[in-house]
Amino acid sequence: MFIKFIITVHIVVSVFLIFVILLQPGKGDAMAAFAGGGGGANTVFGGRGSVTFLSKVTTVCAIIFMLTSLTLAWRSPHSASVLRARRNIAAQEKAEKKDANPLAPPGTAPAPAAPAPAEK
């Protein structure tokens, strides 16, 4: 339940962050405001209001995005799967080697085959 909520928040914040970044004016738009262009942002937010407001919203969205990313990574059910798989494979290989020659003590090489008797 908690993970589903965090995933939902993460997706919503991701889409909102994309739109907020796309709404921000470029560096060239600041100069256009003095030349008579870009007046729409000046009337809604004031002189520098749109830039500071959108940058604050971007900062908040980025912080929420990072927190949800870290939470999802921390709560991931597959966090130890690679290490667990390697341990299982090593244990299986060890068991197979042990089962191959149960009479031989561990760490010894198999006995060489006896030479065939010579024919006369």
pTM, 2 dp = 0.50
Structure tokens at 32: 């256009």
**How far apart are alpha carbons 66 and 87 in whole angstroms?**
32
**How far apart are alpha carbons 101 and 111 in whole angstroms?**
11
Structure tokens at 59: 């900062």
pLDDT tens track for 41-94:
555 555 556 678 888 999 999 999 999 999 998 887 665 566 677 788 888 888
List helix spans (H) across the chain. Answer: 2-23, 27-34, 39-45, 49-74, 81-100
pLDDT tens track for 18-53:
999 998 877 766 555 555 555 555 555 555 566 788
pLDDT band of residue 17 (cuts 50, 70, 90) is very high
Token look-up 């010894």 returns: 108
